[in-house]
Structure 1
Amino acid sequence: MLPSSGSSKSSKPPSQLTKFLVCGLGSLGQHCVAVLKDYGVAVSAIDLILPQNWEVPELPNLLDDLAIGDCRQAAILEQVKIRECRSILLVTSDERGNTEAAFAARLLNPDIRLILRSDKQNLNQLLSQNLGNFVAFEPSQLSAAAFALAALGDQTLGYFNLEGQLLRVVKYQIKPGDRWCDRWWVHGLNTRNRRILSHTANFSPLPKQFYEWEPEARVRAGDTIVYIEVASSSYSQQAKASSVKQQLHQAVRQGIWHHLKQYISQFWQWTYQYQTRRVAVLCCFTVLILVVCGTILFRWEYPEINLQDAFNATATLLLGGYGDLFGDIKPETPLSFGLQVFSLALALAGTAFIGVLYALLIDLLLTSRFHFSSRPPIPQQDHIVLIGLGRLGQRVATLLQEFKQSIAGISNTELDPGILPQMPLVVDNIVSALSKIHLENAKSAIVITEDDLENLEIGLMVHAANSDVGVIIHSYDQHFRDQVARLFPYAQVLCASALSAEVFAAAAFGENVLSLFHFNNTTVLVTEYFIETGDTLNGLMLSEVAYGYAVVPILYQHDKHESVKFMPAQETRLYVGDRLIVLATSLSLQRIERGEMAPRCWQVQIEKALNQDAVFDGANAIALISGCSLAIARKLMNNLPATLPQPLYHHQAQHLVWELSKVQVTAHLTALKDSNSV
């Protein structure tokens, strides 16, 4: 989840202003400029000194104006025409400087939108309430989720919480025998709690945008489906339950002994982590054997005594009571010489084990006394290795612990005991540390040091040590990231600055970005809209918003006093005051900002209706799904065969054909010859 940005609904700056100001041209600032220029707006920048390293090589040519100086000074802000700017992005590494510059900018331009780089969440909340039109983010928090999710190596691509409901994005490969396999069309997988984001047949290239899939495609084994779901009613939970059931059946078939050996092996590995554990287990096991043997021998030698008396005699000997049984006074029941020797052995063994017990207790007390400075042992298998524990690395580790993942860290320097105290840690040279981290049994490795080349070197070393380990590499340079990703396809290379910049840029246009995740090398933003007069979304149906701008509506609320609707119906029409949350790429947000909808390229030809009820119901379906007036729809249905004059999007038109077939109306799609028809 992204940090709170204060007030979720704030007045937007005048939309006619198309000039934006970026203060700070570090890695984040440069990427912010590049993303903003993709929106087609004018961008100016301020920095204390002229950057020596342009991570975005063409950036000097992208800037409309560049001022060298302190962005906290009114004269410098006036130099780049702050009064004409719609938003200012304060992304220097100095949080105090960012805050002071925000005050100066607001004094010069009361309507300007403030986007701040800051980790002081409480202060940010207070500033948002008092200043208004203000939002603050911390880059490591923005990008940490992408690194953590990439390291999981399972089906989960993203997760976020909306209105107390956990939503997650799942990538799932269809297997033979799955309940979806060979039984469903792709469009049939959409439900009230699920939306399909992507479907690719076996060996097909992955799409870059939503809705690049064929609705009538049959789900086959080997296909890959990406979908978002409300987790409480997830197919994945059902699949997990089914998987557990299959594992139970498999356990019965393979026999209990196989699993018992596995549990014993795991227990022995647990005792191996600390030698004292193994000593304690051996002592307990030996004492148990001696108690059983002693009880049996006493009962066998003297059948007239009961089991309790035999056990008491054995326990007395083990607790050092040899003198109580064989002192100056002879026992009433004479013992055989062999049993007396065994009794002496019991007494000696008991004395030795009591000494060991005292030693273990003292060791335990001493260990617990200094437990505050100790860390857990390195996991043996199925763990995630985190190399580099700076600000971003620590945030990633925290998220992985929240995911209940087994992790182990590597650092060149010792961490403060209060930082991630429950994380196993190896403090050593990274090359040496890799041999101590059980890399051969690890699930994945995240490399987040301060140097791109070092990250690449370590990533290659990890892959050479174990080619099955998932490798996630952090890069500060987007160009370097693209090259490495193409040359080493087994590695996931993420640029934290590029990920964060998309959120900062979207916020500059007044959008409230709630979360983000990585999907097919594209950043997807969970973005919240409040529909206002003049918005490009006002008056549109959700089907037009979805297919026209390539976004996925996942939450709709007509009024703040009404309940929210997850995965809302496509026929819902937006009005002023409505709240809408969508999944969108940066390109989609740019198109919404400019009002550039994709062309409608399909028409529906209606052939016949089987009866009069079909004519009535068909007209209702046409008006509801296409958005045309009911009068036009009834006129059309009374003059069949006919073609709906209003062009539609492919998925929208296909949906209309399906609904018409349900009410016994025959129809089919035709592509417009002029693909630019609107």
Structure 2
Amino acid sequence: MLPSSGSTKNNKPPPQLTRFLVCGLGSLGQHCVAVLKDYGVAVSAIDLVLPQNWEIPELPNLLDDLVVGDCRQTSILEQVKIHECRSVLLVTNDERGNTEAAFAARLLNPHIRLILRSDKQNLNQLLSENLGNFVAFEPSQLSAAAFALAALDDQTLGYFNLEGQLLRVVKYQIKPGDRWCDRWWVYGLNTRNRRILSHTTNTAQLPKQFYEWEPEATVRAGDTIVYIEVAQLSSTAQPAKTHSTKQLPQAVSRTLKRHLQQQFSQFWQWMYQYQTRRVAVICGATVLTLLVGGTILFRWEYPIDWQTAFNATATLLLGGYGDLFGDIKPETPLSLGVQVFSLILALAGTAFIGVLYALLIEMLLTSRFHFRSRPPLPQQDHIVVIGLGRLSQRVATLLQEFKQSIVGISHTELDPGILPQMPLVVDNIANAFTKVHLENAKSAIVITEDDLENLEVGLMIHALNPQLGIVIHCYDQHFSDRVARLFPYAQVLCASALSAEVFAAAAFGENVLSLFHFNGTTVLVTEYIIAAGDTLNGLMLSEVAYGYGVVPLLYHHKHESARLMPAYETRLYVGDRLVVLATSHSLQRIERGELAPRHWQLRVEKVLYQDAIFDSANAIALISGCSLAIARQLMQNLPATLPQPLFYHQAQHLVHELSKVQVRAHLIQIVNND
């Protein structure tokens, strides 16, 4: 989950300010400039020393102003026209310098929005409360989720939380016999708790935007569906199996049997992990057997109760042979077998107590080392994390939160307090690969400090295990794109490029809650608070969704409870809260108010029965957004065409709803619509 900005669109400066300032032209700063320029705004930059090698070669030509100097100095900030800037992105590697520059910028421009690169969460929260119009991010926290999810190598593309509900993005390939296969249109898979994001066939190219799918296409085996759902309500694409009353006891029995087998397997692995544990278990089992056997024997041989027989046996095992038999009177009948067995109990008890003392002493002597020791290396279905810098550590932490088995590889020893529950191999890469059971691993993440080393390690892993999923980090976006095209079996991500999209969105006042990777595109979970003058104010959610290419996830009117997966017929007003899935391209269109053109019209041919006129008019007005009077007039003069143009998915939805009330209608494509 990404940190909240504490500020939304209604806090932003006047819209006429279209100049933005980037302080620091490292990898993150350069990508921030590139993303901002895609929004069509003026961008200035400040850096102490110009980069020797530009990661984005054309970047100097994209800048409107470039000043070499200290961004904390008033004179330098005035050179880049700080008074005309809407936002400043402080993304140098010096957190203290970023904070000082933020203070200087705010003193010169009281309305400027501050976007800070900083990992000091408590300070950032305090600054947000006191300064206002302020947000801080740490790049490793922004991009770590994308790396962790890419390494899972399963159906899950994204996880995030909204209003206490866990939502997940799932990629699922339809199999023969699935309940959806050959039975459903893609449109029909949308429910109150699910939204379709993408549908592709085996031969189709993966889309980069939402709604690039045919609503009335039939779901076939081999098709790939990407959808978002409320995870707590549905964890898989398949329907849950139900049991009849007769099957229930059998199901409970099978569940109990599996649970016992699992517990026994865990105990067996625990016992064989260390030799001392095996010795302790064997000794304990032997003593318990002797205790039970001795109790039964004494109860059988002598007229004593069970408690007395148990006490006699325990006394012998604790070395009390003399205490028990030293005062026995001669007339007491003692068989030779009982005496021999009693002596064996005493000797065995003495021996096992000695072993117990030895084990306790060993534990005491080695306890100061054991509390620092790491868990043993996993044998299978684990994720190998190579390179353990700040980003890698964050990725490993997320994987542990996802309950994944992981193992780390590092050139140097880590502090015991860093990821203490992660197994670690400290060695060179080649030797480490022979120890981490790479042949049985689920996937590998390569995040070292050098792009070429990341590529080399990735190629080594593929040579050792071609079936293994590989995630490679590259610092240079162009290098990353080339590697991704040449080696399609690897997922290649650039942390700076991922983080830059969040920084740029925040510069326009958007509150980015989370992000994930979708078909090679970064998708941002973005929150809006609708204000007067916003490009979203007054629109229906269908216009927002299809016009800007976003997926509405949550709608919250100030006097009502929040609704997940809201109906697209909802209209937005000032003060409403909206959370959407959006790409950077979609956010740019929202910022500029560039709605996609509407190329379709509704043609109503016939009503199968008169009572349907009333219901169909209501449906037309609700879904299309036209007035009820226009809809009723249309239905009274059939056949007729609705004059209001519609988006394709919106129009298909309307045709589908009209068919439910026995009204025949179809779509007409508008040619040369401006």
Give yes or no for TM over 0.5.
yes
Alignment-derived partner of residue 318 in structure 2: 319
- What is the correspondence of 1:364-513 to structure 2 with a 5 Å cutoff? 364-513=363-512
2-structure distance, mates of 1:166, 1:159: 7
Query: Match of 2:5, SS?
Result: coil
- What is the correspondence of 1:72-87 to structure 2 with a 5 Å cutoff? 72-87=72-87
Deviation of 1:242 after TM superposition, in Å, equals: 7.1
Query: Match of 1:513, SS?
Result: strand
2-structure distance, mates of 1:621, 1:643: 15
- What is the correspondence of 1:83-162 to structure 2 with a 5 Å cutoff? 83-162=83-162
Q: Are the aligned partners of 1:325 and 1:331 in contact in 2 as well (CA < 8 Å)?
A: no
2-structure distance, mates of 1:609, 1:666: 6
Alignment-derived partner of residue 183 in structure 1: 183
Q: Are the aligned partners of 2:523 and 2:584 in contact in 1 as well (CA < 8 Å)?
A: yes
Deviation of 1:328 after TM superposition, in Å, equals: 7.9
Alignment-derived partner of residue 225 in structure 2: 225
2:643 counterpart of 1:645: yes
2:53 counterpart of 1:39: no
Alignment-derived partner of residue 604 in structure 1: 602
Q: Are the aligned partners of 1:4 and 1:121 in contact in 2 as well (CA < 8 Å)?
A: no
Residues 656 and 43 (structure 1), Cα distance of their counterparts in 2 relative to 1, 3 Å cut: same
Deviation of 1:30 after TM superposition, in Å, equals: 0.7
TM-score, structure 1 normalization: 0.91
2-structure distance, mates of 1:314, 1:180: 68
Letter paired with 2:631:
A
Deviations 1:414-473 (A, max 9, x none): 222322233332333333333333333332222221111222222233333333432222
Query: Match of 1:373, SS?
Result: coil
Query: Match of 2:54, SS?
Result: coil
Residues 20 and 365 (structure 1), Cα distance of their counterparts in 2 relative to 1, 3 Å cut: same
Q: Are the aligned partners of 2:186 and 2:199 in contact in 1 as well (CA < 8 Å)?
A: yes
Query: Match of 1:143, SS?
Result: helix
1-structure distance, mates of 2:497, 2:251: 46
Alignment-derived partner of residue 568 in structure 1: 566
2-structure distance, mates of 1:604, 1:398: 52
* More divergent stretch after superposition (465-474 vs 30-39): 465-474
Letter paired with 1:501:
A
Structure with larger RCO (C-alpha < 8 A, sep 6+): 2
Residues 498 and 333 (structure 1), Cα distance of their counterparts in 2 relative to 1, 3 Å cut: farther
2-structure distance, mates of 1:24, 1:445: 32
Residues 556 and 259 (structure 1), Cα distance of their counterparts in 2 relative to 1, 3 Å cut: closer
Letter paired with 1:14:
P
2:276 counterpart of 1:276: yes
Q: 1:656 aligns with which of 654, 657, 666?
A: 654
Alignment-derived partner of residue 55 in structure 1: 55
Alignment-derived partner of residue 15 in structure 1: 15
Deviations 1:132-154 (A, max 9, x none): 22221111111111112222223
Residues 338 and 239 (structure 1), Cα distance of their counterparts in 2 relative to 1, 3 Å cut: farther
2-structure distance, mates of 1:6, 1:663: 46
Letter paired with 1:662:
K
2-structure distance, mates of 1:506, 1:57: 23
Deviation of 1:557 after TM superposition, in Å, equals: 1.8
2-structure distance, mates of 1:521, 1:418: 35
Deviation of 1:501 after TM superposition, in Å, equals: 0.2
2:4 counterpart of 1:4: yes
* More divergent stretch after superposition (128-137 vs 177-186): 177-186
Q: Are the aligned partners of 2:8 and 2:528 in contact in 1 as well (CA < 8 Å)?
A: no
Deviations 1:522-566 (A, max 9, x none): 11001111222222222211111101111001111222x431121
2-structure distance, mates of 1:197, 1:262: 38
Unaligned regions of 5+ residues in structure 1, if any?
A: none
Query: Match of 2:434, SS?
Result: helix
Deviation of 1:108 after TM superposition, in Å, equals: 2.5
1-structure distance, mates of 2:241, 2:123: 45
Deviations 1:581-621 (A, max 9, x none): 11000011111112222221222211101222211211111
Q: How many corresponding residue pairs?
A: 672
Q: Are the aligned partners of 1:24 and 1:90 in contact in 2 as well (CA < 8 Å)?
A: yes
Residues 332 and 448 (structure 1), Cα distance of their counterparts in 2 relative to 1, 3 Å cut: farther
2-structure distance, mates of 1:328, 1:593: 99
1-structure distance, mates of 2:415, 2:165: 36
Residues 138 and 41 (structure 1), Cα distance of their counterparts in 2 relative to 1, 3 Å cut: same
1-structure distance, mates of 2:251, 2:171: 26
Q: Are the aligned partners of 1:10 and 1:133 in contact in 2 as well (CA < 8 Å)?
A: no
Q: Are the aligned partners of 2:374 and 2:423 in contact in 1 as well (CA < 8 Å)?
A: yes
- What is the correspondence of 1:272-311 to structure 2 with a 5 Å cutoff? 272-291=272-291, 294=294, 302=301
Query: Match of 2:404, SS?
Result: coil
TM-score, structure 2 normalization: 0.92
Deviations 1:397-430 (A, max 9, x none): 2222222333222222222232223333233333
Q: Are the aligned partners of 1:85 and 1:112 in contact in 2 as well (CA < 8 Å)?
A: yes
Query: Match of 1:605, SS?
Result: strand
Q: Are the aligned partners of 2:505 and 2:512 in contact in 1 as well (CA < 8 Å)?
A: yes
Query: Match of 1:568, SS?
Result: coil
Alignment-derived partner of residue 577 in structure 1: 575
Residues 341 and 221 (structure 1), Cα distance of their counterparts in 2 relative to 1, 3 Å cut: farther
2-structure distance, mates of 1:490, 1:182: 30
Deviation of 1:235 after TM superposition, in Å, equals: 4.8
Q: Are the aligned partners of 1:5 and 1:125 in contact in 2 as well (CA < 8 Å)?
A: no
1-structure distance, mates of 2:250, 2:535: 56
Letter paired with 1:92:
T
Residues 131 and 18 (structure 1), Cα distance of their counterparts in 2 relative to 1, 3 Å cut: same
2-structure distance, mates of 1:524, 1:29: 20
Residues 415 and 636 (structure 1), Cα distance of their counterparts in 2 relative to 1, 3 Å cut: same
Alignment-derived partner of residue 667 in structure 2: 669
Deviation of 1:293 after TM superposition, in Å, equals: 5.2
Query: Match of 1:485, SS?
Result: helix
Q: Are the aligned partners of 1:160 and 1:515 in contact in 2 as well (CA < 8 Å)?
A: yes
* More divergent stretch after superposition (45-54 vs 377-386): 377-386
Deviations 1:211-250 (A, max 9, x none): 111212233343322222223322539857779x999989
Query: Match of 1:269, SS?
Result: helix
* More divergent stretch after superposition (302-311 vs 530-539): 302-311
Deviation of 1:289 after TM superposition, in Å, equals: 4.0
- What is the correspondence of 1:236-247 to structure 2 with a 5 Å cutoff? 236=236
> Equivalent pairs: percent with the same residue?
82
Q: Are the aligned partners of 2:515 and 2:525 in contact in 1 as well (CA < 8 Å)?
A: yes
Residues 519 and 361 (structure 1), Cα distance of their counterparts in 2 relative to 1, 3 Å cut: same
- What is the correspondence of 1:355-370 to structure 2 with a 5 Å cutoff? 355-370=354-369
Residues 361 and 402 (structure 1), Cα distance of their counterparts in 2 relative to 1, 3 Å cut: same
2-structure distance, mates of 1:63, 1:99: 24
Alignment-derived partner of residue 616 in structure 2: 618
Deviations 1:107-133 (A, max 9, x none): 222332221111122222222233222
Letter paired with 1:670:
I
Residues 347 and 11 (structure 1), Cα distance of their counterparts in 2 relative to 1, 3 Å cut: same
Unaligned regions of 5+ residues in structure 2, if any?
A: none
Deviation of 1:252 after TM superposition, in Å, equals: 8.1
2-structure distance, mates of 1:82, 1:106: 9
Deviation of 1:49 after TM superposition, in Å, equals: 0.9
Deviations 1:471-499 (A, max 9, x none): 22211111111122222222221111000
